[in-house]
Amino acid sequence: MTYWTRVDGPLGPLLLTADPDGALTSLSVPGQKGGRTVLADWRQDRGPFRAAEEQLAAYFAGELKEFRLELRSPGTEFRERVWAALDSVPYGATTTYGEIAARIGASRAAVRAVGGAIGANPLLVVRPCHRVIGADGSLTGYAGGLDRKVWLLTREGALGTAGA
Protein backbone atom coordinates (compact mmCIF):
# COMPACT_ATOMS: atom_id res chain seq x y z
CA MET A 1 0.00 0.00 0.00
CA THR A 2 1.22 3.44 -0.92
CA TYR A 3 -0.31 6.47 0.78
CA TRP A 4 -0.22 9.88 -0.83
CA THR A 5 -1.16 13.48 -0.30
CA ARG A 6 -0.48 16.87 -1.82
CA VAL A 7 0.98 19.76 0.15
CA ASP A 8 0.93 23.34 -1.13
CA GLY A 9 4.18 25.23 -0.93
CA PRO A 10 6.28 27.87 -2.64
CA LEU A 11 7.61 25.27 -5.11
CA GLY A 12 4.09 24.35 -6.22
CA PRO A 13 1.87 21.50 -5.03
CA LEU A 14 4.16 18.80 -3.64
CA LEU A 15 3.22 15.14 -4.05
CA LEU A 16 4.23 13.08 -1.01
CA THR A 17 4.11 9.31 -0.74
CA ALA A 18 4.54 7.03 2.25
CA ASP A 19 4.74 3.31 2.86
CA PRO A 20 2.34 1.36 5.15
CA ASP A 21 4.54 2.16 8.15
CA GLY A 22 4.23 5.91 7.47
CA ALA A 23 7.82 6.42 6.29
CA LEU A 24 8.13 9.09 3.62
CA THR A 25 9.09 7.39 0.33
CA SER A 26 9.00 10.28 -2.12
CA LEU A 27 8.47 14.01 -2.50
CA SER A 28 7.92 15.26 -6.04
CA VAL A 29 7.34 18.73 -7.49
CA PRO A 30 5.23 19.53 -10.57
CA GLY A 31 7.06 18.81 -13.81
CA GLN A 32 9.90 17.01 -12.04
CA LYS A 33 12.12 14.84 -14.20
CA GLY A 34 11.43 11.31 -12.92
CA GLY A 35 8.80 12.56 -10.46
CA ARG A 36 6.02 10.32 -9.29
CA THR A 37 2.40 10.39 -10.37
CA VAL A 38 -0.54 9.05 -8.41
CA LEU A 39 -1.47 5.47 -9.32
CA ALA A 40 -4.96 3.98 -9.13
CA ASP A 41 -4.16 1.60 -6.25
CA TRP A 42 -2.69 4.31 -4.00
CA ARG A 43 -4.69 5.57 -1.03
CA GLN A 44 -5.09 9.29 -0.43
CA ASP A 45 -4.71 9.94 3.29
CA ARG A 46 -3.20 12.98 5.04
CA GLY A 47 -2.68 11.04 8.28
CA PRO A 48 0.79 9.62 7.59
CA PHE A 49 2.04 13.05 6.50
CA ARG A 50 1.29 15.31 9.47
CA ALA A 51 4.92 15.58 10.58
CA ALA A 52 6.13 16.08 7.01
CA GLU A 53 3.56 18.83 6.42
CA GLU A 54 4.53 20.64 9.63
CA GLN A 55 8.26 20.37 8.95
CA LEU A 56 7.93 21.44 5.31
CA ALA A 57 5.92 24.51 6.36
CA ALA A 58 8.57 25.41 8.94
CA TYR A 59 11.38 24.83 6.42
CA PHE A 60 9.72 27.02 3.78
CA ALA A 61 9.17 29.72 6.42
CA GLY A 62 12.89 29.66 7.21
CA GLU A 63 12.31 28.24 10.70
CA LEU A 64 13.61 24.67 10.20
CA LYS A 65 17.13 23.73 9.15
CA GLU A 66 17.06 19.94 9.52
CA PHE A 67 14.24 17.52 8.75
CA ARG A 68 13.53 14.82 11.31
CA LEU A 69 11.37 12.42 9.35
CA GLU A 70 11.47 8.69 8.82
CA LEU A 71 12.58 8.24 5.21
CA ARG A 72 12.52 5.05 3.19
CA SER A 73 13.67 5.14 -0.40
CA PRO A 74 15.28 1.86 -1.35
CA GLY A 75 17.87 1.95 -4.09
CA THR A 76 21.04 0.19 -5.05
CA GLU A 77 23.78 0.03 -2.43
CA PHE A 78 25.67 2.73 -4.38
CA ARG A 79 22.64 5.07 -4.52
CA GLU A 80 21.96 4.59 -0.84
CA ARG A 81 25.56 5.57 -0.02
CA VAL A 82 25.22 8.69 -2.20
CA TRP A 83 21.88 9.57 -0.60
CA ALA A 84 23.34 9.13 2.90
CA ALA A 85 26.12 11.55 1.91
CA LEU A 86 23.48 14.03 0.70
CA ASP A 87 21.72 13.78 4.05
CA SER A 88 24.91 14.98 5.75
CA VAL A 89 25.25 18.21 3.73
CA PRO A 90 24.23 20.94 6.20
CA TYR A 91 21.62 23.63 5.67
CA GLY A 92 23.10 26.72 4.01
CA ALA A 93 26.09 24.81 2.60
CA THR A 94 26.84 23.43 -0.82
CA THR A 95 29.03 20.60 -1.99
CA THR A 96 30.15 19.20 -5.34
CA TYR A 97 29.65 15.90 -7.09
CA GLY A 98 33.37 15.21 -6.63
CA GLU A 99 33.14 15.89 -2.89
CA ILE A 100 30.20 13.48 -2.61
CA ALA A 101 32.20 10.84 -4.52
CA ALA A 102 35.14 11.32 -2.16
CA ARG A 103 32.86 11.20 0.89
CA ILE A 104 31.57 7.74 -0.09
CA GLY A 105 35.02 6.46 -1.07
CA ALA A 106 34.30 6.38 -4.80
CA SER A 107 36.94 7.14 -7.41
CA ARG A 108 37.12 10.42 -9.29
CA ALA A 109 35.86 8.49 -12.32
CA ALA A 110 32.64 7.77 -10.42
CA VAL A 111 31.51 11.40 -10.47
CA ARG A 112 29.12 10.73 -13.36
CA ALA A 113 27.57 7.79 -11.46
CA VAL A 114 27.27 10.00 -8.37
CA GLY A 115 25.41 12.54 -10.51
CA GLY A 116 23.06 9.82 -11.71
CA ALA A 117 22.33 8.73 -8.14
CA ILE A 118 21.71 12.32 -7.08
CA GLY A 119 19.39 12.81 -10.07
CA ALA A 120 17.44 9.71 -9.00
CA ASN A 121 16.82 11.04 -5.48
CA PRO A 122 13.10 10.45 -4.86
CA LEU A 123 12.93 12.80 -1.87
CA LEU A 124 13.45 16.32 -3.18
CA VAL A 125 13.84 19.07 -0.58
CA VAL A 126 14.04 16.72 2.44
CA ARG A 127 17.09 14.94 1.01
CA PRO A 128 19.03 18.02 -0.10
CA CYS A 129 20.23 17.21 -3.60
CA HIS A 130 19.69 20.92 -4.34
CA ARG A 131 22.86 21.60 -2.30
CA VAL A 132 25.08 19.89 -4.91
CA ILE A 133 26.72 22.24 -7.41
CA GLY A 134 29.34 21.94 -10.12
CA ALA A 135 33.05 21.95 -9.28
CA ASP A 136 33.29 25.41 -10.87
CA GLY A 137 30.46 26.72 -8.65
CA SER A 138 27.84 26.54 -11.38
CA LEU A 139 24.29 25.54 -10.58
CA THR A 140 24.10 22.27 -12.43
CA GLY A 141 20.92 20.34 -13.17
CA TYR A 142 18.17 19.69 -10.68
CA ALA A 143 15.29 17.27 -11.32
CA GLY A 144 12.86 19.84 -9.93
CA GLY A 145 14.13 22.59 -12.26
CA LEU A 146 16.92 25.13 -11.82
CA ASP A 147 14.47 27.85 -10.75
CA ARG A 148 13.48 25.73 -7.75
CA LYS A 149 17.13 24.95 -6.98
CA VAL A 150 17.87 28.67 -6.93
CA TRP A 151 14.86 29.28 -4.67
CA LEU A 152 15.93 26.57 -2.22
CA LEU A 153 19.58 27.66 -2.08
CA THR A 154 18.52 31.28 -1.67
CA ARG A 155 16.08 30.34 1.13
CA GLU A 156 18.96 28.58 2.90
CA GLY A 157 21.26 31.58 2.50
CA ALA A 158 23.67 29.83 0.13
CA LEU A 159 22.94 32.28 -2.73
CA GLY A 160 22.16 35.60 -1.11
CA THR A 161 18.88 37.09 0.07
CA ALA A 162 16.50 34.45 1.43
CA GLY A 163 13.17 34.02 -0.28
CA ALA A 164 14.14 35.82 -3.48
Catalytic residue among 16, 101, 129, 132: 129
CA-to-CA distance for 82 and 28, rounded, in angstroms?
A: 19
DSSP string, 107-160: -GGGHHHHHHHHHT-SBTTTS-GGGEE-TTS-----TT-HHHHHHHHHHTTSSS
Classify residue 30 by burial, with Cβ atoms within 10 Å: 0-12, 13-18, 19+: middle
DSSP string, 21-80: T--EEEEE-TT-TT-----TT-EE-SGGGHHHHHHHHHHHTT--SS----B-----HHHH
Establish whether 129 is a catalytic residue.
yes
- Displacement of CA 136 from its chain's centroid (Å): 22
Q: Which residues lie below 8 Å from residue 137, measured CB to CB, with a gap of 6+?
A: none
Question: Which residues are marked as active site?
Answer: 129
